[in-house]
A and B are shown apart, each in its own frame.
Chain A
Amino acid sequence: MREDFGGWVKSGKPWIWLNAAAVSASLIMVVGLLGLIAVNGLGHFWPSALWDMQYRMPDGKVQRLIGEIADRERTTLERLREAGMSVKAYGDVVDIERLLLKTGNRDVSGLDFRWINAPDILSRDTPGNLVALERTEWGNFYGFIRDIREGGELIAEDEAAWHELKPRLERVQEIRKRIRTLERDEIGAINYRLEQLRLDRRRLELDGEDTPEALAAIERKRKELEAAFTALQKNLEARYREIRRDAITMEAMGGERVSIPLANIVRAWRPNAMGLFDKTGFYLAKLWGFVSEDPREANTEGGIFPAIFGTVMMVLLMSLLVTPFGVVAAVYLREYATQGPLTRLIRIAVNNLAGVPSIVYGVFGLGFFVYFLGGNIDQLFFPEALPAPTFGTPGLMWASLTLALLTVPVVIVATEEGLSRIPRSIREGSLALGATKAETLWRTVLPMASPAMMTGVILAVARAAGEVAPLMLVGVVKLAPALPLDGNAPFIHLDRKFMHLGFHIYDVGFQSPNVEAARPLVYATALLLVLVIVALNLTAISIRNRLRERYRTLDH
């Protein structure tokens, strides 16, 4: 027998369905959010079609537009009218489609993105010989290749020029790599050593040991370094002359001819002429470039390698700090402390620290670690660099310490849970066999609790990797001049500032002058961060579940 609608409502069934809807909504949101990031983040690297359009401008003139379609939306006519546009031409419709066209050529036309109204596109086409160039400055260039020149001499024109471009680009890339090594590694090392010499000299002065011999020795070393520097500088100049040899002439959408030196070109491709195989190869190359290259143009182009590196370094240091302390504190609370009201209180306090806003830790880190500890360390150990601070300024070490403090409750809680799941019988068995408490702990309890510790550390790492607010106060910068790890002794520079994926997202998405251009990169960065964190969490969850299963079998 079926109930009627009233009876059905009275039975509470609709409520159950509404409750179910809440779960579905939450699931849709999570999955949708991950999907949104994935699609936007991964889609960016795919070589999308280059359109060649005839477009009717608001003043009635027809203009040629060349570009990629970056975004599309539907807008009501009223909003367009509100924005001061003439909408008479579109007739009696509620809304029209608008396209965001990335036209590139920022050096030629001043702006590289423009919204256009789809009904005003008179014709559109994807000619195969349209070339897209990724450049080291001014963003992308779209247009037709006209000729290629070597030192001003014409080499080839039109189609032949395109075929000539490939090998010459490869040559430029080789030279660019060499220049990078020269600038960053070799000259960088000399600069670093020169700075060390200056500090040595200052230290001698401060200690009153600046004897003429000592100073002369320093001066001699300085001379040597400067000689090496001059030699490298000469070498570098020669490379720069080489890289500037070739240039191509491009024709932009307005018909302007622009000469672009090959030195400024990172990549050249003809998206409309590429097959699926070519596109896949291009896609993978771009993806690899994204994770392995340095950022360019105020972080809106290029890769995010320093941010990945900085995040990993910071997280590694943090886990080195947090693991022993977290585990020891948990062992103390569970195995050694007398289980009374005080221990219970401490346990609650530790638990709640996980809920204290992360920015509070940042404030503490800045005040206590950076200004107090760092300031005193500088006074004691680095007086020669003063007034320039060494550790008295935000840096990698303080960031790791702050995050270690932030995540130590996570490790304590997880380890304690693991310890509490170990049956008493196992401890008692060990003690009954004559083992001391320390031996019991070391040989039986800790090995059994190790997966729980792992879980705790993984969760801590996942939390630390995604945390941004405290880092903004204690060491993250938008662009770090040098990695915290390099070939100059002592190789790891704990006092340096570093870049971080999460902060990169905030900075590029919200502080950058060209948000439209940066948006896809932010999505890609976000995707990377999400992937890392989801993977870490899934690992932690699976370890924990396996652990629970194991103890369930132990218990019975």
Chain B
Amino acid sequence: MSEAPPSSPYKSSVHLRLRLFKDRITRWLVGAGGVSVIVAILLIFIYLLYIVMPLAESPGMQREAAYHLPSAEQAVYLSMEEQAEIGTVIDRQGRVRFMSTVDGREISQVQLPVPEGAEVVGFSAARPNSGIVALGFSNGQALVIKLYYRASYPDDKRVITPEVQYPLGEQPVVVNAEGASLDRLAIQEDESFTIVGWTRGGLLSVMRASPEESLMEDEGGWTFERTQGYSDLGDIVSLLVDPSQRNMYLLGRDGTLAWFDISDLEQTHLRQQLAVTSKDTEVRDARFLAGGNSILVASANGEISQWFQVRDEQGVSRLRKIRRFSNDADISVLTPEYARKGFLAGGSDGGVAIYHATAGKRLLRERVTDAPLRLLAVSPRADALWALDEQGQLQFWRIHNPHPEVSWSSLWGKVWYEGYDEPAYIWQSSAANNDFEPKFSLTPLAFGTLKAAFYAMLFAIPLSILGAIFTAYFMAPRMRQLVKPTIEIMEALPTVILGFLAGLWLAPLLESHLPGLFAMLMLMPLLVVLAAWVWHLLPRHFTRRIPAGWEAALLVPVLLGAGYLSLAVSPLLEQWFFGGDMPGWLQHEMGIGFDQRNSLVVGMAMGFAVIPTIFSIAEDAIFSVPRHLTSGSLALGATSWQTLVRVVLLTASPGIFSGIMMGVGRAVGETMIVLMATGNTPVMDMSIFQGMRTLSANIAVEMPESEVASTHYRVLFLAALVLFLFTFLFNTGAELIRQRLRNKYSSL
């Protein structure tokens, strides 16, 4: 080597310093980059958790204001508009007062036209979001008004102007033509109005106003129908008409509930009469839950029960008690939320409790005042409450309760939903109408995920493990060099292609050649063993030409032949054993439903996708079993099969197990195959001929449509978090097992 110029490396300390500086910079940059990537990865977990956390948050409420309401004892109704800025009080003098909820200042007042010589005796509100309320007078008439809040934006600021409208005109309408006092009143509105009045003594008057068919849009008048009848209930607490205006419910103070069918006013009749409280317990209040399908009954012992129509064995609808909620004190008033299946109960101790029917639990209870509560209103967004107590004190509270419908039991347990005959696991996140009860049970999805994974493993484990054993232990090295990349390619195939083939090619093929598939399952092993025996019997000088370790190549034509044969005899088999139509036979003879896109298809397609995962890990584990172990065994006289089973597999079993775990992890998270190869119906059915919906497919289907920060959005994030944790734990477990195994091998 030539001598370096003496001065060059040490020419200047500036140069050296620059080099060291560069070194430090690199160290710093690499460190920052590396750490940031790792943090980014951590971020996934943290962000998922951050989105999911509000589901578990407990709701809260806090006092915003309290003030006195003048002539409070006259008030019969409280309500609030969308933003909870303006509250409305209606009283027995027919006065509608609009007030600011935050300070009790009166904004405006409307005096309703009360007929001469009559007084307001009954009162009712229709569906809460309609704004329709009715006042019943002692002369048999009723006045229907609509509370309307007009929003305008002068100077980009929202101004809400409350007003009163008269949908049936400013004149009261006649409900009872004979002038009987309407002591209790019920109203519902859709296009037509139904008003029911109850007079002390049991007289029921029903009036229905339908819009007249008219060519001119605005000029349509109303046609009125009236009928009346008697009920034997003495004193009733509540009179309810459901939003469909077909059913009427009377709730007696003694706990008797009478259900009338009023869909046809000429044929109104009693459907059912039953006791809804235990003996001698008085009813305090009864209300519909949002949507008007469920009736909530609050009784004097502080219990609230939920009732709705359920079909019995004969297919007849009957009212059934679905669930009960408890309260700490006597309940004086109930108020349902506008859009959700939640409700509030005000107690005689001044406490307000918030419940959710689907979640089946009380979320919160807070004393808002010391006096018993008389009236209670919740804002349409369920974020504020307005309560009037017996001392005329109005309380305005803010509520923070964004996700009441989610609880451990509603996510994983059986829930009795409205309109269902029994408690069930159901996932149904959205529907067309507003009063829909969201059904967020993750159980059918988790079940579907595990079912898909199970059938995939059923297909993949035998093929991949047996294949791995042969490839690692028996196969000729030259062939192994070919097989391994092929399997690796198999792993890289996009699952969307597997899913497409499964859905559009395999599913119809299996449907038309179902017997052929089962024939193949039996025929293939038989033919393989037969071929092996024949090979064994062939003359040695012939078989010796093909060295050991190429059996797999020899078997390719055998398997192809077996496959072709099975498919070819499929129609014959179908004719002989299944009357020519196997799916039909399954359906009619066995009572097994057959979906074209079923678990069998998913199992095969997803099995195909996980074979390479299991195969390569298991093959690695078997291949790296130290040679001296096998040589020792063979030297002691064991056959190669005995060596394999007793020595190799035993040593490599943790590796094989870890491969299976990785396979399960992959099958659980796979999205496109299940999305395309199943019908995506969230059913709970283990049958191989039925489809399923998995957690991942559900996310792919519903995520784009879910509203940001809604309960649905967060529940989907929860599903993603569950998937993340499940696969992460499984993969970590598999990885740890593999590392242990590697250490074991190196010590052997």
Give A residues with C-beta under 8 Å from B.
2-3, 5, 8, 11-31, 33, 36-37, 73-79, 81-82, 94-95, 324-326, 328-329, 331-333, 335-337, 346, 348-353, 355-364, 366-368, 371, 405, 408-409, 412, 434, 436-439, 441-442, 462-463, 465-469, 472-473, 502-503, 505-506, 509-510, 515, 519, 522, 526, 529-530, 533-534, 537-538, 541
B529 contact from A14, A332, A361, A509, Cβ within 8 A: A14
Q: Is the CB of A331 within 8 A of B474?
A: no
A363 and B699 contact, Cβ closer than 8 Å, known pairs A336-B34, A468-B496, A533-B494: yes
Docked Cα-Cα span, A357 to B724, in Å, equals 7
A472 and B700 contact, Cβ closer than 8 Å, known pairs A26-B467, A533-B492: yes
With a cutoff of 8 Å between Cβ atoms, the chain B residues found around residue A469 in the complex are 495, 671-672, 675, 696, 700
With a cutoff of 8 Å between Cβ atoms, the chain A residues found around residue B490 in the complex are 26, 29-30
Q: Is the CB of A17 within 8 A of B551?
A: yes
Residue of A8, A20, A466, A519 ringed by the most chain B CB atoms within 10 A: A20
Docked Cα-Cα span, A8 to B532, in Å, equals 10
Docked Cα-Cα span, A75 to B511, in Å, equals 11
Besides the contacts A352-B728, A522-B500, what 13 more A-B pairs have beta carbons closer than 8 Å?
A11-B639, A14-B532, A16-B551, A21-B559, A37-B501, A356-B731, A360-B44, A364-B44, A368-B43, A412-B37, A506-B499, A526-B501, A530-B497
B531 contact from A17, A331, A462, Cβ within 8 A: A17
B77 at the interface (CB under 8 A from A): no
Q: Is the CB of B671 within 8 A of A359?
A: yes
Q: Is the CB of A24 within 8 A of B559?
A: yes
Docked Cα-Cα span, A25 to B523, in Å, equals 13
B723 contact from A15, A33, A360, Cβ within 8 A: A360
B626 at the interface (CB under 8 A from A): no
With a cutoff of 8 Å between Cβ atoms, the chain B residues found around residue A538 in the complex are 485, 489
With a cutoff of 8 Å between Cβ atoms, the chain A residues found around residue B537 in the complex are 2
CB distance from A499 to the nearest CB of B (A): 14
With a cutoff of 8 Å between Cβ atoms, the chain A residues found around residue B282 in the complex are none
Chain B residue with Cβ nearest A349: B41
B504 at the interface (CB under 8 A from A): yes
Chain A residue with Cβ nearest B613: A355
Docked Cα-Cα span, A351 to B483, in Å, equals 25
A366 contact from B466, B676, B703, Cβ within 8 A: B703
B488 at the interface (CB under 8 A from A): yes
A and B contact pairs by CB, cutoff 8 A, 28 listed = A11-B639, A12-B644, A19-B474, A20-B554, A22-B462, A23-B471, A27-B486, A76-B574, A77-B580, A78-B579, A79-B580, A336-B30, A336-B31, A349-B732, A352-B732, A363-B699, A363-B717, A364-B47, A364-B48, A405-B41, A466-B492, A468-B671, A469-B671, A472-B704, A506-B675, A522-B500, A537-B488, A538-B489
Q: Is the CB of B23 within 8 A of A359?
A: no
Pick the 8 closest A-B CB pairs, nearest first: A78-B580, A357-B669, A332-B34, A12-B641, A466-B494, A328-B33, A22-B466, A438-B26
Of B126-134, B420-428, B660-668, the one with at least 4 CB within 8 A of chain A: B660-668
Residue of A5, A79, A409, A510 ringed by the most chain B CB atoms within 10 A: A79
B552 at the interface (CB under 8 A from A): yes
Docked Cα-Cα span, A160 to B466, in Å, equals 67
B38 contact from A33, A76, A350, Cβ within 8 A: A350
Docked Cα-Cα span, A544 to B409, in Å, equals 52
CB distance from B529 to the nearest CB of A (A): 5
Interface of A is mostly: helix
B117 at the interface (CB under 8 A from A): no
A352 contact from B37, B48, B533, B731, Cβ within 8 A: B731
Interface residues of B in 628-669 (CB under 8 A from A): 639-642, 644-645, 662, 665-666, 668-669
A19 contact from B469, B575, B739, Cβ within 8 A: B469
With a cutoff of 8 Å between Cβ atoms, the chain B residues found around residue A503 in the complex are 496
A533 contact from B493, B639, B724, Cβ within 8 A: B493
Docked Cα-Cα span, A441 to B27, in Å, equals 10
Docked Cα-Cα span, A189 to B469, in Å, equals 62
Docked Cα-Cα span, A366 to B532, in Å, equals 55
CB distance from A389 to the nearest CB of B (A): 12
Q: Is the CB of A357 within 8 A of B584?
A: no
Q: Is the CB of B720 within 8 A of A326?
A: no
A29 and B608 contact, Cβ closer than 8 Å, known pairs A17-B555, A74-B571, A352-B731: yes
With a cutoff of 8 Å between Cβ atoms, the chain B residues found around residue A33 in the complex are 493, 501, 608
B534-569 interface code vs A (CB 8 A; 1 in, 0 out): 001100000000000001111110111001000000
B671 contact from A357, A405, A412, A519, Cβ within 8 A: A357
CB distance from A318 to the nearest CB of B (A): 15
Q: Is the CB of B703 within 8 A of A362?
A: yes
Docked Cα-Cα span, A540 to B51, in Å, equals 38
CB distance from B326 to the nearest CB of A (A): 38
Chain B residue with Cβ nearest A348: B735
With a cutoff of 8 Å between Cβ atoms, the chain B residues found around residue A533 in the complex are 492-494
B37 contact from A325, A505, A510, Cβ within 8 A: A325
With a cutoff of 8 Å between Cβ atoms, the chain A residues found around residue B464 in the complex are 22, 26
CB distance from A73 to the nearest CB of B (A): 7
Chain A residue with Cβ nearest B505: A36
With a cutoff of 8 Å between Cβ atoms, the chain B residues found around residue A329 in the complex are 33-34, 37-38
Chain A residue with Cβ nearest B584: A82
Docked Cα-Cα span, A349 to B496, in Å, equals 27
Docked Cα-Cα span, A423 to B483, in Å, equals 30
With a cutoff of 8 Å between Cβ atoms, the chain B residues found around residue A405 in the complex are 40-41, 44
B598 at the interface (CB under 8 A from A): no
Q: Is the CB of A357 within 8 A of B696?
A: yes
B394 at the interface (CB under 8 A from A): no
Chain B residue with Cβ nearest A333: B34
B203 at the interface (CB under 8 A from A): no
B35 at the interface (CB under 8 A from A): yes
With a cutoff of 8 Å between Cβ atoms, the chain B residues found around residue A333 in the complex are 34
A367 and B37 contact, Cβ closer than 8 Å, known pairs A27-B556, A29-B608, A356-B724: no
With a cutoff of 8 Å between Cβ atoms, the chain B residues found around residue A510 in the complex are 500, 503, 676
Q: Is the CB of A20 within 8 A of B555?
A: yes
With a cutoff of 8 Å between Cβ atoms, the chain B residues found around residue A18 in the complex are 466, 525, 528-529
Q: Is the CB of B723 within 8 A of A355?
A: no
Q: Is the CB of A363 within 8 A of B703?
A: yes
Q: Is the CB of A335 within 8 A of B30?
A: yes
With a cutoff of 8 Å between Cβ atoms, the chain B residues found around residue A95 in the complex are 571, 575
B572 contact from A94, A332, A408, A409, Cβ within 8 A: A94
With a cutoff of 8 Å between Cβ atoms, the chain B residues found around residue A15 in the complex are 641
Docked Cα-Cα span, A21 to B365, in Å, equals 67
Chain B residue with Cβ nearest A30: B490
Docked Cα-Cα span, A27 to B475, in Å, equals 14
Q: Is the CB of A16 within 8 A of B641?
A: yes
Docked Cα-Cα span, A5 to B534, in Å, equals 11
A465 and B48 contact, Cβ closer than 8 Å, known pairs A30-B489, A357-B668: no
Chain A residue with Cβ nearest B29: A328
Chain B residue with Cβ nearest A33: B501
Docked Cα-Cα span, A217 to B50, in Å, equals 48
Q: Is the CB of B533 within 8 A of A8?
A: yes
Chain B residue with Cβ nearest A363: B720
Docked Cα-Cα span, A371 to B326, in Å, equals 41
With a cutoff of 8 Å between Cβ atoms, the chain A residues found around residue B669 in the complex are 355-360
CB distance from B222 to the nearest CB of A (A): 42
Docked Cα-Cα span, A503 to B455, in Å, equals 26
Chain B residue with Cβ nearest A435: B19
Q: Is the CB of B671 within 8 A of A28?
A: no
Docked Cα-Cα span, A21 to B568, in Å, equals 21
Interface residues of B in 418-465 (CB under 8 A from A): 462-465
A541 and B488 contact, Cβ closer than 8 Å, known pairs A22-B463, A357-B696, A522-B504: yes
With a cutoff of 8 Å between Cβ atoms, the chain A residues found around residue B728 in the complex are 352, 355-356
A82 and B494 contact, Cβ closer than 8 Å, known pairs A19-B474, A21-B559, A436-B22: no
With a cutoff of 8 Å between Cβ atoms, the chain B residues found around residue A25 in the complex are 463, 467, 524, 559
B559 contact from A28, A75, A361, A541, Cβ within 8 A: A28
B670 at the interface (CB under 8 A from A): yes
Q: Is the CB of A355 within 8 A of B528?
A: no
